[in-house]
Structure 1
Amino acid sequence: MIDKVLIEIDRALKTLTLEPTEKRVRPDASIQENSSLSTPNKKINAQYMRVNHSGEICAQGLYRGQLFFNRNALIKSELEKAADEEADHLAWCNKRIEELGGKTSKLNPVLYTSSFIIGAFNSFVDEKSNLGFLAETEKQVALHLTRHLGRVDKNDIKTIHILKAMKADEEGHESSAIAMGAKELNPLAKKIMGKASKLMTKTTFYI
């Protein structure tokens, strides 16, 4: 158990301090930067991408937490696959923020830690509930990305392509969790998750 804890601490530090690298090519790689984007719109889009970057920090913490007590080989495989795809999202968001002249959130260490604890708790309590929590999380993230797609500058095609690719992955993760037998969460749990998500998005937009 001590070894597992040390491994997770090391992984957390790397996630929070090292520049992320992607395994898949960025969805916007073939698209040229739009030189007509105004400075104010770049700033706003960078803030939206900062929120999404923090969401991916949460995802990394959540998946690592869900894997911590997991003993199901199939679930382990699916969680690791999803975590890899989320790591791509993290790298895409990080680079796009830089290109737009923005910065990542100072709250990321807190977000990673709290997400890890939540994930570990769910994996310890019940396998099906763990999958249910994962499915609901991915559903809410996909809805959140849909809102961002409606708010970013329509001339920022690069950012839009990244968000669309991320949304497709999140919907796939939700479907995988459901296919593995995810137990639907009760309305109160969904409401609490929604409130927590709104708090995270509002704070990381500015901090």
Structure 2
Amino acid sequence: MSTRQLTSFDRWMVAAQRGLEVALAPDPKGARPSPKPADDAMGAPLEGVARAHAAGLMRVNHAGEVAAQALYHGQASVTRDPSLRKHLLEAAVEEQDHLAWCAERLRELDSRPSRLGPLWYAGSYAIGAMAGRVGDRVSLGFVSETERQVEEHLHSHMDRLPAEDARSRAIVAQMSADEAAHGAAARAAGGIELPGPVRLAMRGVAKLMTSLAYWV
């Protein structure tokens, strides 16, 4: 029995369904267990302003993981290189771990993910697909620069999280290590350095997303 080849509309519908699953899943699952503090001591429960601030930062990180998966899915959807597609989809799977960890931590903080998740996914998917259409080396360079900026962003969260929030710090530290590995792999695979104006535009988009996701 023959199988029908997917049309462009079919592919967009599949992407939309995947985006809704990533952005709106109430309890996303990851392959790896959520990181815990080295001494496995959760510390005293956060209260008041400290808890709200930690939740805001972890909501930003959750939104970033929705966007990261969308970028990888968008890039994978347009590349003609099977090895690059495999690389991108494997990275997306690891981002799913991060998404699950952030969602779990938000529940522990009696908070919720950003309500704008579908918007973060749709916009990032479109950006990833556009970057991928320029060429594979540019696509890999986009991955490298994205991960470099995300790593900087996560380092800043280590300074901004409440000192007593060892649980969130353990999650952010592992996420940062994973993002650094993704960026290094993209550069090793041939990713090029993006022009300064492109890097600056990426920072501007990221700033808008993080500012909104902290609150909404």
- TM-score range (shorter-chain normalised) is over 0.9
TM-score of the pair, normalised by structure 2: 0.92
Are 1:12 and 1:61, in contact at CA under 8 Å, matched by a contact in 2? yes
Q: 1:94 to 1:36 in 2, by over 3 A?
A: closer
In structure 2, the partner of 1:14 is 21
Q: Structure 2: give runs of 5+ residues left out of the alignment.
A: 1-6
Please say if residues 72 and 88 of structure 2, whose CA atoms lie closer than 8 Å, have aligned partners that are also in contact. Answer: yes
CA distance in 1, matches of 2:184, 2:23: 28
SS in 2 for 1:150: helix
Q: Percent identity?
A: 36
Partners of 2:74 and 2:125 within 8 A in 1 = yes
Contact 1:34–1:156 (CA under 8 A) maintained in structure 2: yes
Q: Which amino acid counterpart does residue 29 of structure 2 have in structure 1?
A: T
CA distance in 2, matches of 1:36, 1:136: 36
- AA aligned opposite 2:214: F
For residue 124 of structure 1, report the CA deviation from its aligned partner: 1.3
Aligned to 2:33: 25
In the TM superposition, 1:123-202 aligns within 5 A as: 123-202=132-211
Report the count of equivalent residues. Answer: 207
Does residue 71 of the first structure (1) align with residue 72 of the second (2)?
no
User: Structure 2 CA distance, aligned partners of 1:186 and 1:131?
Assistant: 14
Alpha-carbon distance between aligned partners in 2 of 1:17 and 1:112, rounded to the nearest angstrom: 10
Contact 2:66 / 2:120 at 8 angstroms: preserved in 1?
yes
The C-alpha deviation readout for 1:104-130, integer Å capped at 9, x for no partner, is 111111110000000011111211111
* Equivalent residue, structure 1, for 2:4: none
Please say if residues 67 and 76 of structure 1, whose CA atoms lie closer than 8 Å, have aligned partners that are also in contact. yes
The residue that corresponds to 1:80 in the other structure is: 89
User: Matched residues in 1 for 2:153 and 2:195: separation?
Assistant: 20
Are residue 50 (structure 1) and residue 50 (structure 2) matched? no
TM-score if structure 1 supplies the norm length? 0.96
Q: 1:36 to 1:65 in 2, by over 3 A?
A: closer
Counterpart residue identity of residue 24, structure 2: T
> What is aligned with 1:4?
11
Partner of 1:94: 103
Aligned-pair CA distance for 1:36: 4.8
Unaligned 5+ segments in structure 1 are none
- Distance in 1 (CA, whole Å) between partners of 2:96 and 2:153 is 18
Bigger CA drift: 32-41 or 190-199? 32-41
Deviation at 1:37, TM superposition (A): 2.7
Max radius of gyration: which structure? Answer: 2
